[in-house]
Amino acid sequence: MFKKLALATALLAGLSTAHAYQAEIGGSLFVIDPDHADTSTGFALDGTFYFNPVQVKNSPLNEAAFLNRASNVSAAISYMDFDVAESTTFGIGVEYFVPNTDFYVSASIGQSTIEKDGSEDFDTTSYTAELGYLPVSGLLIAAGIAGFDNDNTDDSDATLRAKYVTQVGAYDMNFEGGVIFADDEIFTLGTDLYLDKTFSIGLGYTDDGEDDTFQIRAKKFFNQQVSLEGSIDFEENANVFGLRAAYRF
């Protein structure tokens, strides 16, 4: 459980101009509905700052930063209240698209704390580092490491992932996939169909070697600044409902 949490942690509008933005802030709510326990709730806050203004142009609003190769720094914090414990996670990250080249680097570090009544806090530090290459427009291939360290154990594993945003027929689509080469390899797959530049529906799948998770998701931009997205994760012993609102400026 702790390794899954650590690796997940590692991997953890109106006032701006009409066609560009340089920052985004978001807030999320989560509800975990387990099969044989009480419902748990949580929330998260996140923010991203781009080194240069992101030009939207004619791309899907959700993919503008990626297609612009927009270097950025980000931070996030989340809190979950379970039946017998509380979990707090925070992290920071950076993505850098090397100017005038097709190379990419990224790194992140975070910490999660699990608090249980009558016992000491359990802290886990997690981290990632990647090197990537963009052979064609809209395609990123990146390899690196993901690791964690706590009082009980530590580990680091190689990672490989790809993201491709392209046009399929009359629609824009996003395809993503990744693997963490741990003892129990973790696979992720996802795709999003953009019905127009402001609205997408998508599917995701994760296999962590123990459980499978299927995800249904959707995201809508009401204008170029304000967005709302929702997701449902169907896990073996629980369903996780998520809702996020964000603002760009």
Nearest to 104 by CA among 74, 59, 70, 127: 70
Name the pLDDT band for 35 (thresholds 50, 70, 90): confident
Average confidence (pLDDT) over 38-51: 95
Number of domains in the chain: 1
| pLDDT tier at 226, thresholds 50, 70, 90 | very high
- Segment 29-43 shows an average pLDDT of 89
Residue 6, pLDDT score: 43
Instruction: Give the model's pLDDT for residue 11.
Output: 42
> Mean pLDDT highest for which of 37-51, 92-106, 204-218?
92-106
Tell me what the pLDDT averaged over the chain comes to: 90
- Rounded Cα distance between 49 and 54, Å, is 10
Which secondary structure element, helix H or strand E, spans residue 219, and what is its range?
Answer: strand 212-221
CA-to-CA distance for 28 and 12, rounded, in angstroms? 13
Which domain, by its residues, includes 51? 2-248
Task: Give the pLDDT confidence score for residue 36 in this predicted structure.
Answer: 75
Residue 117: what pLDDT?
A: 75
CA 204 to CA 91: how far, in whole Å? Answer: 23
pLDDT at position 38 over 90: no
- In the predicted structure, residue 45 carries a pLDDT above the cut 80: yes
H runs (alpha helix) in the chain: 2-10, 64-67
pLDDT tens string 115-160: 887 677 899 999 999 999 999 999 999 999 999 999 888 889 999 9
Q: Identify which has the larger pLDDT, 14 or 55.
A: 55
pLDDT of the residue at 13 = 32
pLDDT at 83 over 80: no
Query: 9 pLDDT exceeds 70?
Result: no
The pLDDT value recorded for residue 2 is 41
Neighbours of 125 (CB within 10 A): 17
Where residue 193 sits, what CATH number does that domain have? 2.40.160.40
Sequence letter at residue 14:
G
Which DSSP category does 18 fall into? T
